[in-house]
Amino acid sequence: MIRRLAPSALLVLLALLTLPFVAHALSRPVLALAGEAEALGRLFHPGAWLANGAIYGHMLSGGVITLLVPLQLLPVIRRRAPRLHRVSGYLLAGLALVTGIAGLVYIALKGTIGGPWMSFWFGLYGLLMILAAVATVRHARNRDFARHRRWALRLMVLAVASFLYRVHYGLWFMATGGIGVEDFHGAFDRAMVWAFYLPYLAALELWFRRARRLRPA
Ligand code: HEM
């Protein structure tokens, strides 16, 4: 019983833990759209409607998928409400596409605070999110549910990775007071731009391999 319920409990716990970050991601563009452009701080560029629109859309859609993608994976919804799972799946994949594409547009127009190094790794993050969203839907439509499940899990890792990025900084500050953090150009900053998603994706691939090995022939 506990073994059966543990994955669902962990998914709900993960969604709850993201709440403060989700509130941060959603509130800033909402305040900006309500006329308080300064809510976006340095991410707001007077007159640059495409870059501003991209970062608004990016933060709104990103906030929603951070909270809802883990809940989309709840087995109880998949089993008891398959229609809801399908409809919300299309919606979340669409929002993941918006998050990735809008992030890439913003990078192309304005770069990132950490310079080309950060832009490269964030660019790869955006491309992977787009790939995972497309592949998750494509395999579901082809009724290849083993692949669909693997891509859905990759999408979940990517959807919560932006939250994990902030968690890494929080823990690092608590442990070291911020060694290697220098306005997005320190050693820690330069490692974190890939370490918030690649190690988690790699761990997931190892887990898939192990599950394949253990599966009876
Ligand atoms: C998964 C959900 C995501 C959420 C919730 C999210 C949220 C945010 C938030 C809140 C900011 C504003 C900075 C801050 O206040 O901390 C931001 C900035 C940014 N995000 Fe995302 N993001 C997500 C995914 C992505 C992806 C996939 C990309 C890659 C294309 C990306 C690229 C960027 C860039 C380039 C910035 C501006 C960086 C800078 O120069 O400061 N984000 N994001």
pLDDT for residue 217: 60
Q: List the structure tokens of 90.
A: 């299309």
User: CB pairs under 8 A, 24+ apart, for 43-48?
Assistant: 45/110, 48/109, 48/110
Name the CA radius of gyration of the chain, rounded: 18
Q: Where are the domains of the chain?
A: 2-214
Candidates 19, 58, 110, 163: which one to mutate for ligand 1, based on the most atoms within 8 Å of Cβ?
A: 58
Q: What is the 3-state secondary structure (H, E, C) of 78-123?
A: HHHCHHHHHHHHHHHHHHHHHHHHHHHHHHHHHCCCCHHHHHHHHH
pLDDT for residue 172: 98
Instruction: State the average pLDDT for the chain.
Output: 95
pLDDT for residue 34: 85
Residue 61 Cβ < 6 Å to ligand 1: no
Q: List the structure tokens of 175.
A: 């442990």
Q: pLDDT tens-digit profile of 42-71?
A: 898 988 999 999 999 999 999 999 999 999
Candidates 59, 69, 95, 107: which one to mutate for ligand 1, based on the most atoms within 8 Å of Cβ?
A: 59
Separation CA 119–CA 187 (nearest Å):
16
Q: What percent of the chain has pLDDT over 70?
A: 99
Distance 53 CA to ligand 1 centre (A): 13
Q: Which residue has the tokens 């290849």?
A: 144
Residue nearest (by alpha carbon) to ligand 1 atom 23: 62
Q: Name 172's Cβ contacts closer than 8 Å, sequence gap at least 6.
A: 178, 179, 181, 188
The most distant pair of C-alpha atoms in the chain lies apart, rounded to whole Å, by 61
Residue 1 has pLDDT above 80, yes or no: no
Residue 202 has pLDDT above 90, yes or no: yes
pLDDT for residue 111: 97
Q: Say if CB 132 and CB 105 are below 8 A apart.
A: no
Q: Say if CB 59 and CB 29 are below 8 A apart.
A: yes
Q: pLDDT tens-digit profile of 151-200?
A: 999 999 999 999 999 999 999 999 999 999 999 999 999 999 999 999 99
Separation CA 152–CA 140 (nearest Å):
10
Q: Let me know the angle formed at the C-alpha of 64 by 44 and 161, rounded to the nearest 5 degrees.
A: 85
The DSSP-derived string for 134-149 is HHHHHHHHTT-HHHHH
41 CA: nearest ligand 1 atom: 15
